[in-house]
Structure 1
Amino acid sequence: MIYVLLGIIIALFGYGLYNFFYQKKVLTALTQEEFIKGYRKAQLIDVREPNEFESGHILGARNIPLSQLKMRLKEIRADKPVYLYDQTGSRSGRAAIILHKKGYNQLFYLKGGFKKWTGKIKVGK
């Protein structure tokens, strides 16, 4: 029994470690300054839920929540850079894995997420 539990814990740890390094490989972290320099020429995607988006988002962002991303891939062009952000940066990594598996290669995210953003924002839709 204890070996089964230990095996499950090791498997979960291994999976988490794999995802961590996979995200690092497919996703480029940008500081706010770097993000500002490039996001107007890219597709700016907020992967937070709609209520979070409506409470405030980066000017020009489209809301495609992580929970809907697989169903809404046609809204994102694979031939243009994709700039992702969420509240803290964790959901952007999961979104990047989904996008990379579907052929998206120019993936960037805002280090620290919206929580650290000090640029222009818009409240509401």
Structure 2
Amino acid sequence: MKEMTPQEVQAYLESNPEASVIDVRETAEVRAGKIPQAVNIPLGLVEFRIQDFDKSKEHILVCRSGKRSGMAGRFLEARGYRIINMAGGMLEWDGPTV
């Protein structure tokens, strides 16, 4: 699975504002702040919301530290999705949040 640091993701999003960002943290965690364009789909719901992922796009997956997003990424990659895991997660994100 492809990985990017939070700094690489931030630079990527600046030049690709329509990029797909999926935050797999729990809803309560996301309330503390998320990447502005991120859509929250908690890890436990990824398999049930797989239809929400567009196979023609590359998706950046985000969580607190990179572990849950890695799990979601492996699940999605095994089903033919193109995934980038944000290594270090929101713990290392210093970009804007909402």
The two structures have a TM-score, normalised by structure 1, of: 0.71
**Alignment match, 1:33:** 7
Q: How many residues align?
A: 95
Alpha-carbon distance between aligned partners in 2 of 1:36 and 1:50, rounded to the nearest angstrom: 22
With 38-47 and 82-91 compared, the bigger mean Cα shift is at 38-47
Unmatched 5+ residue regions in structure 1? 1-26
Aligned pairs for 1:92-111 within 5 A: 92-104=69-81, 106-111=82-87
Instruction: Give the CA deviation at 1:38.
Output: 2.6
Percent identity of paired positions between Structure 1 and Structure 2? 33
Instruction: Give the CA deviation at 1:41.
Output: 3.8
More helix by share: 1
Higher RCO (C-alpha under 8 Å, 6+ residues apart) = 2
Unmatched 5+ residue regions in structure 2? none
Decide which structure has the larger Cα Rg and report it.
1
Alpha-carbon distance between aligned partners in 1 of 2:35 and 2:92, rounded to the nearest angstrom: 12
Is the 2:6–2:89 contact (alpha carbons within 8 Å) kept by the matching residues of 1?
no
TM superposition outliers: structure 1 runs of 4+ over 3 Å = none
Alpha-carbon distance between aligned partners in 2 of 1:32 and 1:88, rounded to the nearest angstrom: 11
